[in-house]
Amino acid sequence: MNRIDQRFRARRESGRKLLIPYIVAGDPSPGETVALMHELAAAGADVIELGVPFSDPMADGPVIQQACERALVHDVTLRDVFGMVAEFRKGDDETPVVLMGYLNPIEILGYETAAELAAEAGVDGLLTVDLPPEEGELLVPELEKRGLDAIWLIAPTTRAERIRQICDLAHGFVYYVSLKGVTGASTLDVDDVAAHVEAIRAATELPVGVGFGISDGESAARVSEVADAVVVGSAIVRRIGENAGDAAAMRQAVTELLRSMRRAIDAAAPATA
Amino acid sequence: MSDNTAQSAEVDYARFPDVRGHFGRYGGQFVPELLMAPLRELADAYAELKDDPGFQAELDRDLRHYVGRPSPLYWAERWSRRLGGAQVYLKREDLNHTGAHKINNTMGQALLARHMGKTRVVAETGAGQHGVASATVAARLGLKCTVYMGSEDVRRQSVNVYRMRLLGAEVVPVDSGSKTLKDALNEAFRDWAANVDDTFYIIGTVAGPHPYPRLVRDFQSVIGREAREQILEQTGRLPDALVACVGGGSNAIGLFHPFLTDTGVAMYGVEAGGEGIESGRHAAPLTAGRPGVLHGNRTYLMESDSGQIIGTHSVSAGLDYPGVGPEHAWLKDIDRVHYTSVTDDEALAAFHELTRCEGIMPALETAHAVAYTARLAPRMPADQSIIINLSGRGDKDINTVAALEGIEV
């Protein structure tokens, strides 16, 4: 059982909903990422989603686009990101790390090499935004061989039959994109999310994470009532951007937000154990 | 070259792309899950309408009476004589309504949008030609229209920006990334993702996720079908060579596709060599790039060793794009089409040459094809013929040309 399964199982047993923050590796600078990952884990992150910067992030809104641009000023590569995860693993062998990014940096490195380096570094899963299951034949077998999870997205536009097909392929958890649009949008409709999560649960036993449009404790708490895990990206990345010149202030702003979300989620669904 | 064409004669081009949009290893659907359903909806609608006689009749009527088709095939006799080799024919797409080949595609896609019940269209544009062609058909069909354009291109092509606004379109300058065509595509995809229910994305070239490369090719193939008939009528035989500029590659595919099985017809796709391939400042992914994944498809790209898309340069905004349609990537690999490049300076010289010699002012994009033909024609005998896709007119570029020459207009 890999770290993702262990973590979800443990949290499910204790009745605690998972909180999954997203940051872009190398934002605002490569030297700060590993320390920030440890801070996230200490502030209540159950899984860390580490964004791999890409020049053309077509599914991301301006906040994450700018984070990618800040990281790419330092020429942060996929190999560098593997190095950051390996460094993080020296101090934390339990918190699962999922890389989230786009296909091209993986494609150019080579599918086998990318999967091999990811496994060696201690990565647990890959979420590749512009790779639907139909195109997964080069990457997915390489991940599976090494016990890495391919995390798949389900969107508000995904119909029931396709939800089943995606869930049949899924490992770890499935990630429901809670709105039509890009990351950082702010029009979350929790009733609508609940209906879709219910449709996903009809198709799989796997835990369901929900992301896109969750910006504060209140929205996190409301989503946690229907989902197993709450993913928070732009709200955190915005605080990194606002404090890019001051590492201490940046870590404080990020961890304050995460702690407030953690409290709100735990208050909405108190742990049973 | 005869070896290459003999080899590719065995390819059944009608079988490509396959049902999932692949041309060999290229093409496909590399998009966020959110867009998979709308792409499916589009593919289904297109599959139903493309063989529907009513839809085809409607499109044919608009192409004839609104766009002005068929466009002439003109024998550039004086220029041919000056080049001293093959006879050069110009397929006059510059004479279409809005001044370029782009409207063949926007007309088709906008009719498709209306049949699908969409009330709004979005488009990306580089030189502004596709944006103008989209804004035009949107006005004609009463659809709302938003055009994304890199802020750098907004500056370079201010006349087209004003044209789009006159036509009722909202033009949104894109400030992210390199502020050019690729960033406009990103932003158009983001808009589409947020508005899939009522919005149709009119992609302007033979790139993007399936079914776009297929449907844009089909809509643009009217160029090659007409040219084939016209050259047979005028010369009694097929041409010996076809030449077209390649940015995303829609005008080139439009001319080439109906001739692919004609093994005696050589084809040349001309990319933007910018300041020269060796300078690194160009927009020639087929000439100097490598395969990767961007904007929904696998194709040749301009990218760094770590897979980041790198900045491109061309004097012509319409060719300033780091990717290319996946069918071109495949036609390169199977050696059916020869891809090459010319520099900014060669294109500018050709712009002047054709303007002064024939009274036809080509777009700077098109001038790349003209420039390559000036190299090719003298190497061919006088009883052979070349068709250039004269894909757009140069009026939109006169400010750029004047500025480069230090002239105030």
The string of pLDDT tens digits covering residues A164-203 is 999 999 999 999 999 888 888 777 888 999 999 999 999 9
Query: Looking at the domain assignment, is residue A272 inside a domain?
Result: no
- Residue B104, Cβ neighbours under 10 Å: how many? 26
Is A134 assigned a catalytic role? no
Is the pLDDT at B9 greater than 80? The verdict is no
In B, which residues are within 8 Å of A152 by CB distance? 33
User: What is the rounded distance in angstroms from the CA atom of residue B368 to the CA atom of residue B246?
Assistant: 9
Region of residue B34 (phi > 0: left; psi between -120 and 50: alpha; otherwise: beta): alpha
A230-249: burial string, b at 16+ Cβ within 10 Å, e else: bbbbbbbbbbbbebbeeeee
Name the strand (E) or helix (H) holding B3: helix B2-8
Residue A37, CA distances (Å) to A75, A91, B16, B50, B78 in order: 20, 10, 47, 53, 70
Q: How far is B213 from chain A (nearest CA, A)?
A: 17
Give CATH 3.40.50.1100 domain extents, chain B: 21-64+102-211, 68-99+217-404
pLDDT: is A248 or B8 the higher one?
A248
Query: Looking at the domain assignment, is residue A208 inside a domain?
Result: yes
In which order are the strands placed within the sheet that holds B290-294?
Answer: B22-23, B26-30, B296-301, B290-294
Q: Which of A184, A176, A172, A10 is nearest to A97 (CA)?
A: A172
User: What is the rounded distance in angstroms from the CA atom of residue B81 to the CA atom of residue A264?
Assistant: 81
* Domain carrying residue A184: 3-267
How many residues does this entry show for chain A?
Answer: 273
| CB-based contact B307 A162, cutoff 8 Å | no
Q: Tell me, rounded to whole angstroms, the distance of Cα A186 from its chain centroid.
A: 18
The string of pLDDT tens digits covering residues A249-263 is 999 999 999 999 999
User: What is the rounded distance in angstroms from the CA atom of residue B42 to the CA atom of residue B36?
Assistant: 10
Q: Which of B163, B80, B106 is nearest to B383 (CA)?
A: B80
Q: How many domains are there within chain A?
A: 1
Is the pLDDT at A30 greater than 50? The verdict is yes
Taking CA–CA distances from B308, the nearest residue in chain A reads A55
Is A192 assigned a catalytic role? no
Taking CA–CA distances from A105, the nearest residue in chain B reads B307
Q: What pLDDT is recorded for position A188?
A: 82
Query: Looking at the domain assignment, is residue A109 inside a domain?
Result: yes
Confidence of residue B5 (pLDDT cuts 50, 70, 90): very low
Determine which of A16-20, A267-271, B239-243 has the lowest per-residue pLDDT on average. A267-271
The string of pLDDT tens digits covering residues B286-333 is 999 999 999 999 999 999 999 999 999 999 988 999 999 999 999 999
User: What is the rounded distance in angstroms from the CA atom of residue B363 to the CA atom of residue B392?
Assistant: 5
| CB-based contact B189 A78, cutoff 8 Å | no
User: What is the rounded distance in angstroms from the CA atom of residue A217 to the CA atom of residue A234?
Assistant: 14
CATH architecture of B21-64+102-211: 3-Layer(aba) Sandwich (3.40)
Q: What pLDDT is recorded for position B156?
A: 78
| CB-based contact A108 B309, cutoff 8 Å | no
| CB-based contact A155 B197, cutoff 8 Å | no
CA triple B62-B115-B199, angle to 5 deg: 105
Q: How far is A43 from chain B (nearest CA, A)?
A: 30
Query: Looking at the domain assignment, is residue A46 inside a domain?
Result: yes
What CATH number is attached to the domain comprising A138? 3.20.20.70
**What is the value of pTM for the model shown?**
0.96
Q: Which of B52, B44, B42 is nearest to B203 (CA)?
A: B42
Q: Coil, helix or strand for A48?
A: strand
Query: Looking at the domain assignment, is residue A84 inside a domain?
Result: yes
Given the residues A27, A60, A124, A142, select the one marked as catalytic: A60
CATH architecture of B68-99+217-404: 3-Layer(aba) Sandwich (3.40)
Given the residues A27, A46, A49, A228, select the one marked as catalytic: A49
Touching check for A134 and chain B: CB below 8 Å?
yes
